[in-house]
Amino acid sequence: MSAESAEEVKTLPVQRRSSTRTAGPADGPFLLPRTRGVRGRVSPRGRARASARRPAWQREYVLTIAAGDAAAALLGALAGYLARFGGESLSAQGAAGTSVAWTMVLLPPVWVFAMVLSRSYEPRFLGVGSEEFARVVRAGTAVAAFVGTLSWALSLEIARGFVVVALPVAGLLTLAGRLLARGYLHRRRAQGHCLQTAVVAGHTEQVASLIRQVRRATDHGFVVVGACTPDGRTSPELEALGVPVLGGLDEIAAVVADVDAEVVATLTCPELDGPELRRLGWELEDTRADLVVAPALTDVVGPRVVIRPVSGLPLLHVERPELRGVRHLGKALFDRASALAALVVLSPVLLVVAALVRLDSPGPALFRQQRVGKDGRPFTMYKFRSMVVDAERLLIDLRDNSEGNGLLFKMRRDPRVTRMGSWLRKYSLDELPQLINVVLGDMSLVGPRPPLQVEVDAYGDDMRRRLLVKPGLTGLWQVSGRSDLDLDESVRLDLTYVENWTPTFDVMILAKTVGAVLKSKGAY
């Protein structure tokens, strides 16, 4: 596989062959070669591929962030030097200057070496999730402890002012560099580059569901090139998705070798129990594929899930969702303080927007609507008016043109939206008055979308869990497509937030909101 083909991966034009067939002239050029033996044993060709190096884009990405880490450490050292000595010559500082000079020289390689030891360059941690950043923080903390211990043990005269500035700056710049690199990687993946080929194994319904989720989240970089099912048969769902079934569950390793997949995702099913997964792991040792197992419990992530070994069995311990407590009190205080500060800072902008709304069309600047908040309590939500005053009356004639998710009416080109309203909606400026709701305690900065009473009346038991927390000014729905989401996906995202809330989760969503607003995707 050339570097170009490794960088841009498309669905491979392969079809499953029955184990009883032999290739003939009518079979065409797209059938897999017969390389499967007992229990899907990997062919010699598969073992040769297993020794191949990682894709070129992956090696280049790791080298790029390693260079960025070294540059961050060097800039941190320079910042420490300027903060401590103000640009004075180090030679004039005596022993302290000599120690700082050596620290500036050694900090970049030591910093990168610490990142290597913390395994922050492993491909499985890069590009998605918070584990990469957690490992960077741990590595930086370890370097600080190492420098402090070494200077004490060897009585080195390293200026404390230098260390106090250099290491935090290096850490912050490293995190910023990783974040920029991740953003670039996500853009490349959205364009069809820097992808990892994957084979999914399980029952057809589960496989189809996983494929749809993978295709919605392009930032993970998975492209499913084939599936393995219990009987090796396909289904209308998989055919509609364009994913071929390449073999049965006893042929997974051989299928992986045939298509040179980089990831094998197995789903929960009786045929793939513990012993079978263990044997599959042994068979995949001769390939370059990583084995990932999707648990039966979905949408539970992060610190809620830990491994608890019991009698040699790795059991998943699932913590209860955090719905109250000290951290939620801290969230409430942070929300109100931040919203109040934002209202003060943005007050000139809010006044200008209000005036423009009034000038653009007759009617008030603010639109008030009853929404349902935490525990089902109704509240009045404030927005800038983006439609004509009699929008509710006009809705009767537009019902049949809805492009919404089944409960909500949505139109990409709604004739009731004013000129100013279209611009406000594009950049979500119409939602700024909801900062008032945050100050009043009806809403949070981050949370599920505030529903209408008609939506709540149609909720099932699962959907009602959205009401366990305050609705948010932004949320996973905001950064994942907004009005482009269907009902099931909207509910899944809201429940994911409720079940897995942490302060870090809020910070991540707030950071992503800026990009989502600027892109204006799904805003109508």
Tell me the CATH number at 245: 3.40.50.20
User: Does residue 153 surpass a pLDDT of 50?
Assistant: yes
| Total domains, the chain | 3
Do residue 348 and residue 407 come from a single domain? yes
Domain termination site, one of 140, 164, 190? 190
Do residue 167 and residue 201 come from a single domain? no
User: Does residue 20 surpass a pLDDT of 50?
Assistant: no
CB atoms within 10 A of CB 363: 16
Do residue 186 and residue 199 come from a single domain? no
Do residue 177 and residue 212 come from a single domain? no
Q: Which two tokens stand for residue 104?
A: 């500036």
pTM of the complete model: 0.65
Rounded to an integer, what distance in angstroms lies between the CA atom of residue 181 and that of residue 187? 10
Do residue 119 and residue 231 come from a single domain? no
> Percent of the chain at pLDDT above 90?
29
Does any domain span residue 304? no
Do residue 503 and residue 378 come from a single domain? yes
Strands, E, within 5-83: which ranges? none
Of 333, 338, 303, the C-alpha closest to 318 is: 303
Do residue 89 and residue 229 come from a single domain? no
Does any domain span residue 314? no
Rounded to an integer, what distance in angstroms lies between the CA atom of residue 58 and that of residue 487? 36
Rounded to an integer, what distance in angstroms lies between the CA atom of residue 438 and that of residue 429? 16
Rounded to an integer, what distance in angstroms lies between the CA atom of residue 468 and that of residue 511? 24
Does any domain span residue 258? yes
Domain termination site, one of 258, 275, 296? 296
Does any domain span residue 49? no
User: Does residue 42 surpass a pLDDT of 50?
Assistant: no
Rounded to 5 degrees, what are φ and ψ at 4?
-65, -45
Does any domain span residue 45? no
Rounded to an integer, what distance in angstroms lies between the CA atom of residue 430 and that of residue 385? 7
pLDDT tens digits for range 296-351: 655 555 566 667 777 666 777 677 777 777 888 899 999 999 999 999 999 999 99
Rounded to an integer, what distance in angstroms lies between the CA atom of residue 323 and that of residue 264? 35
What value does the mean pLDDT take over residues 473-480?
84
CA angle at residue 193 from 189 to 199, to 5 degrees? Answer: 85
Does any domain span residue 72? yes
- Domain extent, residue 159, equals 56-190
Do residue 124 and residue 209 come from a single domain? no
What value does the mean pLDDT take over residues 391-409?
63
3 state SS of 139: helix
pLDDT for residue 40 = 46
Strands, E, within 258-403: which ranges? 263-267, 290-294, 305-310, 313-318, 366-372, 378-384
Do residue 150 and residue 24 come from a single domain? no
Do residue 249 and residue 373 come from a single domain? no
pLDDT for residue 32 = 33
pLDDT tens digits for range 162-196: 678 888 999 999 999 999 999 899 889 888 888 88
Domain termination site, one of 276, 296, 316? 296
Does any domain span residue 457? yes
Do residue 111 and residue 240 come from a single domain? no
Do residue 231 and residue 99 come from a single domain? no
Rounded to 5 degrees, what are φ and ψ at 325?
120, -175
User: Does residue 471 surpass a pLDDT of 50?
Assistant: yes
Are residues 302 and 272 in contact, defined by beta-carbon separation less than 8 angstroms? no
Please spell the DSSP secondary structure of 249-262, one letter per residue: GGGHHHHHHHHT-S
Does any domain span residue 39? no
Please spell the DSSP secondary structure of 218-252, one letter per residue: GGG-EEEEEEEETTS---HHHHHHT--EEEEGGGH
